[in-house]
């Protein structure tokens, strides 16, 4: 079974739509450890806590399709009331708790039981890949109002963050060296269909090139404050080993604008072509 990374509790990828929209429903059950999804008899002693959602009632969760909808829907759902029951472990054992969707999300994210308490400080919704795009200067170059630079650091220019990502990617333990590396950097979100579709279109267009994909979690980038971002957001890098950067650019253009004249690549991604000098 596949699980999302970046969560303290075990969150299976089957909960993609719930994670994308912050909408947990009746019957959703979560465990503090991945072992719970194996042989129960062997796993039971490893599970510190488990909870089940009782309200709201189960509906048909729709697939997230728009690049803008998930953020607005997520934030709308963040404060919605929810009732949960701890069915194993923790100090709330066999108790019903009335809390919010956002507080449950933060429990799964950080593992802090106190956040469920309505008297506890209200957590802020996370930032999405649109915020990472702005940090990278993709599209609008304005740094987000709720900037997520690490505490104690000064907001770095987009060039510094891009160079940080490039250096992390080039040193990533892939076991290979690159002679003519070209870098394509995308702000990615694995639960956003638009972001996933864009990446798939680009990687398909590069099928004739020697390329490799590297995912860097926000926690891999010290200049950004990882706990401010949604756990499914990452910097996705495609390294293309080629001395023909213009052919790569052409392939990207066809992927992004298959039926019309290409516009500005930097509205969608960062492209750093290989330079011979």
Contact in structure between 171 and 183 (CB atoms under 8 Å): no
DSSP H helices in the chain: 16-21, 40-43, 69-78, 101-110, 129-135, 158-170, 193-205, 245-256
Q: How far apart are CA 183 and CA 193, in angstroms?
A: 23
Of 60, 200, 71, the closest CA to residue 127 belongs to 71
Of 248, 238, 177, the closest CA to residue 213 belongs to 238
pLDDT at 90: 52
Predicted confidence (pLDDT) per residue in 166-199, tens digit: 999 988 877 778 899 999 999 999 999 999 999 9
What domains are there in the chain, each with its CATH number? 13-125 (no CATH), 142-272 (3.30.70)
Taking the CA of residue 71 as centre, how many other CA atoms within 13 Å lie in the half-sphere pointing to its CB? 13
What global pTM score does this model have? Answer: 0.86
Average pLDDT for 233-238 = 98
């Amino acid at each position: 079974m596949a699980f999302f990374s970046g969560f303290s509790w075990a969150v299976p990828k089957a909960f993609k739509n719930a994670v994308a929209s912050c909408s947990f429903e009746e019957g959703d059950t979560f465990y503090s450890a991945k072992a719970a999804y194996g042989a129960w008899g062997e796993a039971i002693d490893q599970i510190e806590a488990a909870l089940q959602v009782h309200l709201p009632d189960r509906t048909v969760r729709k697939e997230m399709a728009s690049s803008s909808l998930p953020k607005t829907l997520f934030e709308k759902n963040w404060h919605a009331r929810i009732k949960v029951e701890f069915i194993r472990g923790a100090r709330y054992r066999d108790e019903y708790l009335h809390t919010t969707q956002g507080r449950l999300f933060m429990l799964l994210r950080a593992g802090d039981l106190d956040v469920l308490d309505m008297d506890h400080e209200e957590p802020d919704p996370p930032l999405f890949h649109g915020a990472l795009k702005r940090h990278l200067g993709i599209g609008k170059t304005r740094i987000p109002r709720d900037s997520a630079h690490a505490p104690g650091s000064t907001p770095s220019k987009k060039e510094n963050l891009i160079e940080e990502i490039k250096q992390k990617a080039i040193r990533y333990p892939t076991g290979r060296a690159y002679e003519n590396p070209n870098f394509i950097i995308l702000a990615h979100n694995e639960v956003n269909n638009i972001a996933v579709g864009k990446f798939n279109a680009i990687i398909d267009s590069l099928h004739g090139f020697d390329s490799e994909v590297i995912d860097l979690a926000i926690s891999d980038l010290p200049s950004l404050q990882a706990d401010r971002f949604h756990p499914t957001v990452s910097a996705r890098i495609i390294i293309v080993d080629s001395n023909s950067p213009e052919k790569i650019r052409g392939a990207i253009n066809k992927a992004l604008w298959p039926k019309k004249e290409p516009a500005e690549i930097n509205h969608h991604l960062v492209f750093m072509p290989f330079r011979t000098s």
